[in-house]
Amino acid sequence: MAIDINSEDGQIVRKLIPLGTLPGAQFNVLCENMNIEEVQGGTLFKKGDTDTRLIYLLSGEVTLQAEGLIIEVIAAESEAARFALAHQIPRKIDAVANGTMRFLRLDAGMVNNPAPLVYKEDNSYMVNEEPEDDLNDWMTALLRSPVFQRLPPANLQKVLITLEEVSVDAGETIIKQGDKGDYYYLIKSGHCLVSRKPSPNAKEIKLAQLGKGDAFGEDALLSGAPRNVTIAALTDMVILRLDKYHFLSLIKEPLLKFITPEQMRKALSQGATLLDVRSLDEHRAGHLPGSINAPFFTLRMQLKTFNREQPVIVVCADGKASEAAAFLLLRHRFDALILDGGMNAVTEPKAKKEAAEQKREAAQFVIDDGTETLTSHADGVHLQHQPQQQAVQAPSISASDDLVRALKSENEALRKLNLQLSEKCQNLEIEKEEALKQGRMLRRQMEKLTQVLNKA
């Protein structure tokens, strides 16, 4: 049975994550195809189940347990109920309904890939279609960010669970230009000022004000460069911060998309925009044909000049600055891609090819065979060292080329393997943290059970 978006159930569904991030029209269509299920106690799923459908609690309570020990009891009114219940597949724990329970069972593909936002643009402004419900909920405002809308629900849940809340007094500096990047920040309440000094002795330039739902601090985490701005609180604030490790593993990894030079050429032939975010001098010294130069520090001011209808391919020297630029574009609802390896990925193969051609041209050379010749003169016969020149063909370098190609292929395979292993290590680290958390909960439960048994 369809859900009326204006009903009590509709209001509950609007708060579910990430369903609450959908624009009004798409959310209405989704509700028309939802069916609410109801059970009177019983098991919803067991450890090891592989059904990929996600279960959201609408009313009642659910007990999550492992090996007969209670890990958590989730009530429909709690913050935890905004997420799908124990979403990891296969299931790591059992879920049992406590009495009467109403819930949604939704296809994971639909939840992981919500319909894109609809834009209405003209030459002077842009309007995006958004839900009309109250924006006072900071989390709802945050989840409407294009960055968080693109994250898989599992990553989104881990991010929100991992965030650390920090209070900041008015006038306090949150990040300072020149410092090393360590956290990604989200504003829960209050306002702050973004400023920058072009040089150490220059006057500070005010760039922008940020408020509830805004985020900052990703540039230094992505590029590895020092902080390029200073951000100070204008009012008392509550901010949420995510450490660098979790930002890179939970947000950067699933969000940023890389392409090869071959894929870039195909995308450009289909109308994509090529954006070079290096400095003007670097662009003048050498650039890819058809590229638009927009140095990263000026990119924010040029966003309105780019076309959202086609992908934007970002290129820099080595790919690092491109990551920060692509993140900025994604935040402003562009489809951003990154040329993997940057200009180096394009120029290095060309330089190697030119070096090989020069080597082939130098393959013809002259040698002295050391032959002694007799020369007759009128005043006698003399011994003379007469070098005899002959052309010698250098050995073929095809075998050398084959070796270079083999080494290059092996290096690329090792690079990909290294990336896979790094990703696996990050995932294992996250699972380790979750296991430790579950272990702590089990230990507390065991202590409670011990107390009960001692009193018996």
Q: What distance in Å separates the CA atoms of residue 155 and residue 251, rounded to the nearest whole number?
A: 7
Domains of the chain: 8-112 (2.60.120.10), 163-252 (2.60.120.10), 256-344 (3.40.250.10)
Write down the pLDDT at residue 21.
64
- Choice among 100-114, 165-179, 191-205, 431-445 with the minimum mean pLDDT: 431-445
Q: For residue 126, count other CB atoms closer than 10 A to its CB.
A: 12
Answer yes or no: 316 catalytic.
Answer: yes
pLDDT for residue 168: 96
Average pLDDT of the residues in 215-225: 90
What average pLDDT does range 244-263 have in this prediction? 93
Give the per-residue pLDDT at 432: 75
pLDDT at 345 over 70: yes
pLDDT in tens, 385-400: 444 444 444 444 455 5
Q: What does pTM read for this prediction? A: 0.55
> What confidence tens digit (pLDDT) does each residue in 20-32 have?
666 677 778 778 8
pLDDT tens figures, 102-149? 999 988 766 655 545 444 444 333 333 444 444 446 777 777 788 888
Percent of the chain, pLDDT > 70? 72
- For 311-332, the pLDDT digits (tens) are 999 999 988 889 999 999 998 8
Average pLDDT over residues 275-295: 92
At residue 369 the predicted structure's pLDDT band, cuts being 50, 70 and 90, is very low
**Mean pLDDT across the chain, nearest whole number?**
78
Q: Please state which of the ranges 12-16, 179-183, 307-311 shows the lowest mean pLDDT.
A: 12-16
For the chain, the three-class secondary structure string (H helix, E strand, C coil) is CCCCCCCHHHHHHHCCCCHHHCCHHHHHHHHHCCCEEEEEEEEEECCCCCCCCEEEEEEEEEEEEECCEEEEEEECCCHHHHCCCCCCCCCCCEEEEEEEEEEEEECHHHHHCCCCCCEEECCCCEEECCCCCCCCCHHHHHHCCHHHHCCCHHHHHHHHHHCEEEEECCCCEEECCCCCCCEEEEEEECCEEEEECCCCCCCCEEEEEECCCCEECHHHHHHCCCCCCEEEECCCEEEEEEEHHHHHHHHHHHHCCEECHHHHHHHHHCCCEEEECCCHHHHHHCCCCCCEECCHHHHHHHHHHCCCCCCEEEECCCCHHHHHHHHHHHHCCCCEEEECCCHHHHHHHHHHHHHHHHHHHCCEEEEECCCEEEEEECCEEEEEECCCEEEEECCCCHHHHHHHHHHHHHHHHHHHHHHHHHHHHHHHHHHHHHHHHHHHHHHHHHHHHHHHHHHC
Q: In this predicted model, which residue has the larger pLDDT, 30 or 72?
A: 72
Q: What integer pLDDT is reported at residue 236 of this predicted model?
A: 96
Q: Between the ranges 151-165, 252-266, 417-431, where is the mean pLDDT highest? A: 252-266
